[in-house]
Chain A
Amino acid sequence: SQQGEEDPQALSIQEGENATMNCSYKTSINNLQWYRQNSGRGLVHLILIRSNEREKHSGRLRVTLDTSKKSSSLLITASRAADTASYFCATALGGGNKLTFGTGTQLKVEL
């Protein structure tokens, strides 16, 4: 798999349900970041988790990181229609380093 591959590629859920997206990567990293992108728009930073962290929360978001499996997951709880967007993970080797983005998960939250 490529550095930063998300699955599923697409996810459709009902409002109020939880959405889980996964990201796998190949090389050792310093940190992993999750971004949201609404169709045709910019990238909004959601959360950063460092390689020495296992779990992080921000509002309705919960991110986990398993460096032994080289994988991360993003959980959005109690989803809303406004959460409809593409979600990308991006890995970095260190501060100031380039981000390598995954292929993204397209999330659709239906009313």
Chain B
Amino acid sequence: EPEVTQTPSHQVTQMGQEVILRCVPISNHLYFYWYRQILGQKVEFLVSFYNNEISEKSEIFDDQFSVERPDGSNFTLKIRSTKLEDSAMYFCASGGGGTDTQYFGPGTRLTVL
């Protein structure tokens, strides 16, 4: 069964450093998303991406964040200058292809020191 994959599974970085989180969505899906979950809290929407552009973003998704679909398979989230409060589990999801269901990847745990 096709699934969303994410790399790395765990990323440790120093405050102020740039990180890129990578995702490979399910191949025939049209919509791509990033969510995050701070430890012990709700899953929060960050951004959705469709037709090679951002379709919606949350207040969390400020100028420090960017997304890109550099080729036909990868979908990335970049945080330019990480802050301590960016520490969270980041989930990629994809959907579309005839269904509204969003399928989530296993997540990348980002730890900012």
B-contacting residues of A (Cβ < 8 Å)? 30-31, 33, 35, 40-45, 48, 50, 88, 90, 92, 94-104
- 14 residue pairs of the A-B complex, CB under 8 angstroms, read A30-B100, A33-B102, A35-B104, A40-B89, A42-B91, A42-B104, A43-B91, A43-B93, A45-B101, A48-B99, A88-B43, A95-B100, A96-B100, A104-B42
CB of A91, distance to nearest CB on chain B (Å): 11
Known: A45-B103, A48-B101, A92-B100. A103 touches B42 (CB 8 A): yes
A98 to B104, CA, bound (A): 13
A-B CB proximity, top 7 nearest: A42-B106, A43-B104, A98-B45, A101-B43, A95-B100, A96-B31, A42-B107
Q: Does B18 contact A (CB under 8 A)?
A: no
* Majority DSSP secondary structure for residues of B touching A: strand
The answer to whether A102 and B55 have CB atoms under 8 Å apart is no
Q: Which of B57-113 contact A (CB under 8 A)?
A: 58, 89, 91, 93, 95-96, 99-107, 109
What residues of A have a CB within 8 angstroms of the CB of B95 in the complex? 95-96
Q: Once A and B bind, how many residue pairs between them come within 8 Å at the CB atom?
A: 66
CB of A10, distance to nearest CB on chain B (Å): 13
What residues of A have a CB within 8 angstroms of the CB of B106 in the complex? 41-42
- B7-49 CB contact bits vs A (8 Å, 1 = yes)? 0000000000000000000000011010100000011110010
Q: List 15 additional A-B contacts (Cβ < 8 Å) besides A43-B93, A48-B100, A96-B100.
A: A31-B100, A33-B102, A42-B91, A43-B104, A88-B43, A92-B100, A95-B31, A95-B95, A95-B100, A96-B31, A96-B95, A97-B56, A98-B45, A99-B93, A101-B43
The answer to whether A98 and B33 have CB atoms under 8 Å apart is yes
CB of A35, distance to nearest CB on chain B (Å): 7
Known: A95-B96, A98-B33. A33 touches B56 (CB 8 A): no
CB of A66, distance to nearest CB on chain B (Å): 20
The answer to whether A96 and B55 have CB atoms under 8 Å apart is yes
A8 to B103, CA, bound (A): 25
